[in-house]
Amino acid sequence: MNRLKVMTIFGTRPEAIKMAPLVKELDKNKNVESKVCVTAQHREMLDQVLDLFNIKPDYDLDIMKSKQSLTGVTNRVLQGLEEIFNEYKPDIILVHGDTTTTFVSSLAGFYQKIKVGHVEAGLRSFDKYFPYPEEMNRKLTGAIADIHFAPTKGAKNNLLNEGVEEKNIYITGNTVIDAMSTTVEEDYRFKNEELNNIDYDNKKVIMVTAHRRENWGEGIENICKSLKHIVENNEDVELVYLVHLNPIVKDVAEKHLKGVERVHLLPPQDTKETHNLMNKSYMLMTDSGGLQEEAPHLGKPVLVLRDVTERPEGVTQGTVRLVGTNFDNLIKNAQELLTDKAVYEKMSDAINPYGDGKASKRIVKALLYYFNLEDERPDEFR
């Protein structure tokens, strides 16, 4: 067999962060012809990550539109990939996680009978509409995929329960932990001066992100109101809110928090700034999936602004607490972490359940094994 033709496809910022270490690993392997295709479901937020990891896509669908609809994204990705696959036919495409890019790319691959490898497979909340549309995106991708790279044992079990053949599932750990070994630095100086000017030693810095569709409207309103209350009632708190570029989210954050003392409303920062901000923070409040995996690696307690999660390991292990978006509940939980040292220390006692930094290596080895270019299966993440 000639070199294995592997096309990695992604479109949003978190997919890019988590695929970057894998792309690097594929590029290094002499048995692989590695191509990268971005849908650019995100534009600026994606380009930041491509720049940071110095990845130059071979194909760029450039589909993002302001306030894009799910249908619009779906149509543009499906159409665009058909044209690309007519020009270059990979042996396998690799997709990541649960975005609309993920699902539609796997569908486009299936339509042309191209094998599909699903990275970060098997996470389930078991609720069709939470997270929306991600739970269904991930399930549908799982139904199409030929090889499943499950980050944890729990994710593998979910796939087994759905009838996926065990031999096609590999427990790899999460590639985001691979990425963090290159981004987090102890004496990091931020490119953003506002972040350098914060007194991380004497203030309790709360890092915030919130953008999910199911929180649009009342959820985001409650989150912003409670953040204001928390800052105003705790003089030692400094709040850094990295506000998503979506106007639906941004307008609400600015309405409640712009100009409030000790609140820093900043646009999304690049991955290196974000990971290092997390490392210097006291705790996080977020509805993001990825931050729930990254923060335990750094021993930072996370209040998750959602009612369900497809990432239960952090909750079981204790670093992550699901708190929803109820105003009183948010304040109660934040106040406890800010003032009760024992509770804080228990939550920040980190053992990362999500990875050991070797996920990308395992995935490449598994791919080669699947195509008979390697004799042994990779070891599994435990």
Of 120, 238, 273, 313, which residue is the catalytic one?
A: 120
DSSP state of 358: -
Greatest distance between any 2 Cα atoms in the chain = 66
One character per residue 107-146, x = contact with ligand UD1 (rule: CB under 6 A): --------------------------xx------------
Token pair in block for residue 354: 């999500």
- Tell me if residue 58 is catalytic: no
Q: Could you give the CA distance from residue 369 to residue 377 in angstroms, rounded to a whole number?
A: 6
Strands (E) located in the chain: 4-10, 32-38, 59-60, 92-96, 115-119, 147-150, 169-171, 204-209, 237-242, 263-266, 283-286, 302-304, 320-322
Of 13, 76, 138, 211, which residue is the catalytic one?
A: 211
- Tell me if residue 211 is catalytic: yes
Q: 91 or 294: whose CB is closer to ligand UD1?
A: 294
- Tell me if residue 294 is catalytic: no
Number of residues that bind ligand UD1 (CB under 6 A): 23
Phi first, then psi: give them for residue 111, nearest 5 degrees: -60, -30
Q: 213 or 365: whose CB is closer to ligand UD1?
A: 213
Contact segment (CB under 6 A) with ligand UD1 among 79-87, 98-106, 231-239, 364-372 equals 98-106
Give the closest residue to 271 by CA, choosing from 143, 202, 185, 357: 185
- Tell me if residue 297 is catalytic: no
Give the nearest distance from C-beta 212 to ligand UD1 in angstroms: 7
Q: 120 or 238: whose CB is closer to ligand UD1?
A: 120
Amino acid at 50: L
- Tell me if residue 262 is catalytic: no
Phi first, then psi: give them for residue 25, nearest 5 degrees: -70, -40
Token pair in block for residue 231: 């800052």
Q: 160 or 245: whose CB is closer to ligand UD1?
A: 245
Q: Does 24 bind ligand UD1 (CB under 6 A)?
A: no
What 3-state class would DSSP assign to 162?
Answer: coil
Give the nearest distance from C-beta 273 to ligand UD1 in angstroms: 15
Interface pick for ligand UD1 out of 4, 16, 20, 42 (rule CB under 6 A): 42
List of residues 6+ apart from 345 with CB closer than 8 A: none
Strands (E) located in 134-224: 147-150, 169-171, 204-209
Contact segment (CB under 6 A) with ligand UD1 among 42-50, 114-122, 193-201, 312-320 equals 42-50
Give the nearest distance from C-beta 174 to ligand UD1 in angstroms: 15
Give the closest residue to 325 by CA, choosing from 220, 232, 240, 231: 220
Q: How many residues does the chain have?
A: 382
Q: 13 or 18: whose CB is closer to ligand UD1?
A: 13
Enumerate the active-site residues. Answer: 98, 120, 134, 211, 213, 244
Where does this chain bind ligand UD1 (CB under 6 A)? 12-14, 41-45, 64-68, 70, 73, 98-100, 133-134, 211, 245-246
